[in-house]
Amino acid sequence: MTASAGAALTGERRELLRRRLQALGFDEVRFAAVTSVARAGLAPWLNQGLQADMAWMELTKEKRLNPDLVLAGARTVIILGVNYGSPAERPALAAAAGETGKPAHAPVWARYALHADYHDTIKPGLAAAGRVLEELGGLVATDYRYYVDTGPVLERGWAARSGLGFRGKNAMLISKQHGNWLLLASILTRWEITADEPLRKKLPTPDQLEPTGLLCGKCTRCLDACPTDAFSQPGVVDARRCISYHTIENKGIIPRELRRGIGARIYGCDVCLEVCPWNRFAQASRRMLLSARGDIAELDLGEILALTPLRFAEIFKGTAIKRLKLVGLLRNACIVAANTGAADLLPTLQQLAEQASPIVRAHAVWAVQQLAGAASAQTRLAGARSRETDPLVLAEYEQGAGDLAAHG
Ligand code: B12
Ligand code: SF4
Ligand code: SF4
Percent of the chain clearing pLDDT 70 (strictly above): 93
CA of 184 to the centre of ligand 3 (A): 19
Which pLDDT belongs to residue 202? 75
User: In a mutational test of the pocket of ligand 3, which residue from 221, 237, 281 has the highest number of ligand atoms less than 8 Å from its CB?
Assistant: 221
Q: How confident is the model at residue 371 (pLDDT cuts 50, 70, 90)?
A: very high
Looking from the CA of residue 237, the nearest atom of ligand 2 is 5
Q: Is 149 a catalytic residue?
A: yes
Using N-to-C axis directions, what is the helix angle for 11-22 and 118-137, rounded to 10°?
Answer: 150
Task: Report, in this order, helix, strand and coil percent for the chain, each rounded to 5.
Answer: 50, 10, 40
- Ligand number, closest to the Cα atom of 63: 1
Beta strands in 85-168 (DSSP E): 108-109, 144-147, 166-167
- pLDDT higher than 50, residue 278: yes
- pLDDT higher than 70, residue 270: yes
- Residue 276 CB-density burial (10 A; 0-12 exposed, 13-18 middle, 19+ buried): buried
Which pLDDT belongs to residue 99? 45
- pLDDT higher than 70, residue 2: no
Summarised one tens digit per residue, pLDDT across range 11-48 is: 999 999 999 999 999 999 999 999 988 888 999 999 99
What is the C-alpha separation between 5 and 316, in angstroms, rounded? 47
* Residue, of 210 and 368, whose pLDDT is higher: 368
- Is the dihedral angle over the CA atoms 336, 342, 345, 346 positive or is it negative? positive
Summarised one tens digit per residue, pLDDT across range 151-201 is: 999 999 999 999 999 999 999 999 999 999 999 999 999 999 999 999 987
CA of 141 to the centre of ligand 1 (A): 27
What is the C-alpha separation between 142 and 161, in angstroms, rounded? 24
CA-based nearest residue to 72, from 9, 152, 144, 158? 144
- Ligand number, closest to the Cα atom of 27: 1
Which pLDDT belongs to residue 40? 85
Which pLDDT belongs to residue 400? 83
Summarised one tens digit per residue, pLDDT across range 214-224 is: 999 999 999 99
Mean pLDDT of 89-99: 48
Which pLDDT belongs to residue 209? 87
- DSSP letter at 389 equals -
Tell the residue nearest (CA) to atom 6 of ligand 2.
272
Q: Which of 53, 149, 196, 403 is catalytic?
A: 149
What is the C-alpha separation between 135 and 2, in angstroms, rounded? 11
- pLDDT higher than 70, residue 89: no
Question: For ligand 1, is residue 273 a contact (CB within 6 Å)?
Answer: yes
Per the document, the length of the chain is: 408
Least reliable range by pLDDT among 5-9, 44-48, 56-60, 342-346: 5-9
Tell the residue nearest (CA) to atom 8 of ligand 3.
216
Tell the residue nearest (CA) to atom 1 of ligand 3.
276
What is the C-alpha separation between 141 and 133, in angstroms, rounded? 9
State if pTM tops 0.85: yes
What is the C-alpha separation between 42 and 408, in angstroms, rounded? 47
Mean pLDDT of 251-277: 98
CA of 217 to the centre of ligand 1 (A): 21
Which pLDDT belongs to residue 287? 79
Which pLDDT belongs to residue 1? 62
Which pLDDT belongs to residue 98? 45
Contacts with 51 (C-beta within 8 Å, 6 or more apart), sequence order = 45, 57, 58, 239
Query: What's the gap between Cα 342 and its chain centre?
Result: 27
User: In a mutational test of the pocket of ligand 2, which residue from 111, 181, 269 has the highest number of ligand atoms less than 8 Å from its CB?
Assistant: 269
